[in-house]
Amino acid sequence: MRTSRPLYVGTNEIVNFFTDDRLPVKILRHIALRIANNLEPIKSIIKNKLTEADGSRTLLPRLF
């Protein structure tokens, strides 16, 4: 349970971030998505993590 708790909490925080309709959160969400979409290193890291493509080049650790 101790090892899965960070994943559970992190997932809930991401869901809360993307479902919150308050204006400041909407603005922050818009900025975060623009940055992630326009900075190729960040975009590649996210894409590789989501598609499990060539884990040897990613900066994030493998979860499983």
- 32, part of any domain: yes
- 54, part of any domain: yes
- 28, part of any domain: yes
- Work out how many domains the chain is built from and give that number: 1
- 63, part of any domain: yes
Tens of pLDDT, residues 4-55: 898 899 999 999 999 999 999 999 999 999 988 899 988 888 888 888 776 5
- 12, part of any domain: no
Reduced to 3 states (helix: H, G, I; strand: E, B; else coil), residue 22 is coil
Q: Which domain holds residue 51?
A: 21-64
Its pTM surpasses 0.85: no
